[in-house]
Amino acid sequence: MNEEQRKQQQTAVKSPDKKSVKDYSKYFDTTYVPPSLKEAKKRGKEEVAYQENFQISEQYRGLGTGKKFYIRTYGCQMNEHDTEVMAGIFTALGFEHTDSVDDANVILLNTCAIRENAENKVFGELGHFKALKRERPDLLLGVCGCMSQEESVVSKILKTYQHVDMIFGTHNIHRLPEILDNAYKSKEMVVEVWSKEGDVIENLPRKRKGNIKAWVNIMYGCDKFCTYCIVPYTRGKERSRRPEDIIQEVRHLAAQGYKEVTLLGQNVNAYGKDFKDMEYGLGHLMDELRKIDIPRIRFTTSHPRDFDDHLIDVLAKGGNLLDHIHLPVQSGSSECLKIMARKYTREHYLELVRKIKEAIPNASLTTDIIVGFPNETDEQFEETISLYKEVGFDSAYTFIYSPREGTPAAKMKDNVPMNVKKQRLQRLNALVNETSAQKMKEYDGKIVNVLVEGESKNNPDVLAGYTEKNKLVNFKGPKTSIGQIVKVKITETKTWSLNGEMIEEEIGVE
Ligand code: SAH
Ligand code: SF4
Ligand code: F3S
């Protein structure tokens, strides 16, 4: 997108006389182009633009002197990581971070659009902030993240939440300095949402949460267009970061003493598919990363369709590549999967699981499941239950299908009543809990490697950390072990966590 096109997509919407305006048409006859789902579906074939060296213009430095920012994050790991980038930009602008809205000068809601309840939470929160804005008119209130990419949301904010000062999308978080500057200068509602997919921008500042585990984006966007899902519209087309940039970032994290890296993407198995100049996929990338001196490397989220044999071979090499794979299945019924446009069948999924277990015998698998997809029959739901048992997942995130405006599934007639959907969710959750508890029991008396993250949330005398398979372990041990990988003997198992005692010597490992 060139500068002129960009400007066309951006506007500072004139602030209405907030008390008297009832005619909202003035919002819509400006040059503002709302994010369009139709447009998003017309995936451009044009090449991804790489901006190698993001810089904050000198004119904005000092914008935040004496001011504090607060960001509330609602979404997935990618959303959380975007928050880290925005926190990095705020810090570079001279702002200080605060954990409390009470002393914040800028409040940002980094939103998620995946299900209706995620959105409702944000609208509720925006309502609450109205009083705060009235008390402190100098406070800047912004909405960003995936909801901002939806035209219906932008319209609703323009109409109903006029105390919001700025709305910007997922493709332009790097323009935060300009957006803030605009919002301060004009005191008008600044709307900058690009419906075109973003570029890949390198050298963004990041203020990471903690110094033990780090997220690293390897790609952005999603081209899968599962019929229920809003993400391809809110995050744009698939575009991969160049391997050299990722490798450099991971090396840098290793040098800074980070112990674990999670590679992020909506569908990490599609990594590299957009490279025009080389055949390079996630397997190649992992093969390079495993040589870096960092103890743990994870990745999320995998899509079964693109999970290739090369990746399995590389993961089987082990070392710092952990043997826990999150592999969302969504449904155990091939018919449902077809209508969801997942583009694999139950059999294909089971075959993939077989291959993974053959190559990596200790691999643990977790998944995501949607129940109550339009017209899901009892039999189809039973297939999900039987698949769950057959695979032997360690755990799962389970959801009731939530229609998202603009997605194909939202237009489907649905004959499954809500109480049936709820019953299915309960039954599935009972199975998920039961299997998780069983899997945890297998750890009784075993010794596991735990990356110690800090004091337990509920008890400062207890430390908490995660095993290689991402199981939460609470144990007694010295505070000096925080940030280290230690051996813990499991003494008690629960449904979602393990309790244990740190041991000094090695007596055999997980
Ligand atoms: N890219 C990942 C998941 C992203 S969203 C993947 O393809 O697996 C995380 C999970 O939210 C999905 O796996 C799905 O289970 C759930 N989800 C997505 N859209 C949903 C919707 N409309 N209703 C209910 N759950 C949904
Ligand atoms: Fe959504 Fe499907 Fe893309 Fe996952 S792969 S983000 S579920 S469209
Ligand atoms: Fe939500 Fe956007 Fe992530 S919709 S799940 S925050 S990609």
The gap between the terminal CA atoms of the chain, to the nearest Å, is: 51
What residues contact 42, with CB distance under 8 A and at least 6 apart? Answer: none
Question: Looking at domain 447-507, does it have CATH number 1.10.540.10?
Answer: no
- To test the pocket of ligand 2, the residue of 230, 237, 266, 271 to mutate (highest count of ligand atoms within 8 Å of its CB) is 266
Domain borders along the chain are 3-30+46-192, 208-441, 447-507
pLDDT confidence of residue 53: 82
- To test the pocket of ligand 3, the residue of 71, 72, 74, 79 to mutate (highest count of ligand atoms within 8 Å of its CB) is 79
Distance between CA 239 and CA 250 in Å, rounded?
19
* Backbone region of residue 502 per phi and psi (left: phi > 0; alpha: psi in -120 to 50; beta: other values): beta
Distance between CA 75 and CA 118 in Å, rounded?
8
Positions in the chain whose pLDDT score sits under 70: 1-46, 187, 195-198, 505-510
How distant is the alpha carbon of residue 94 from its chain centre? Answer: 27
For 488, list phi and psi in degrees, rounded to 5: -130, 130
pLDDT confidence of residue 186: 80
CATH of region 208-441, choose from 3.40.50.2300, 3.10.450.50, 3.80.30.20, 1.10.1200.10: 3.80.30.20
Give residue for tokens 């075109």. 196
pLDDT confidence of residue 50: 85
Reported for 184-189, long-range contacts at CB under 8 A and 24+ positions apart, including other chains, are: 184/63, 184/140, 186/12, 186/15, 187/15, 188/12, 188/13, 188/14, 188/15, 189/12, 189/13, 189/15, 189/158, 189/162, 189/164, 189/165
pLDDT confidence of residue 35: 56
Residue 328 CA to ligand 2 centre (angstroms): 10
| Count of residues in the chain | 510
CATH number of 3-30+46-192: 3.40.50.12160
Pocket of ligand 3 (CB under 6 A): 75-76, 78-79, 112-114, 145-146, 230-231, 234-235
Of 423, 419, 473, 422, the closest CA to residue 444 belongs to 473
Residue 114 CA to ligand 1 centre (angstroms): 7
Q: Which helix (H) or strand (E) holds 386?
A: helix 378-391
For 54, list phi and psi in degrees, rounded to 5: -60, 135
Q: What is the CA radius of gyration of the chain?
A: 24
Do 3-30+46-192 and 208-441 have matching folds?
Answer: no
- To test the pocket of ligand 2, the residue of 226, 235, 367 to mutate (highest count of ligand atoms within 8 Å of its CB) is 226
Distance between CA 298 and CA 316 in Å, rounded?
13
Give residue for tokens 């629960």. 494
State the CB neighbour count (10 A cutoff) for residue 395: 20
Task: Please indicate if the annotation marks 336 as binding a ligand.
Answer: no
Q: Which atom of ligand 3 is nearest to the CA of 75?
A: 6
From residue 105, how far is each of 135, 217, 334, 447 by CA, in Å? 12, 29, 51, 48
Buried b (16+ CB within 10 A) or exposed e, 213-227: bbbbbbbbbbebbbb
pLDDT confidence of residue 454: 95
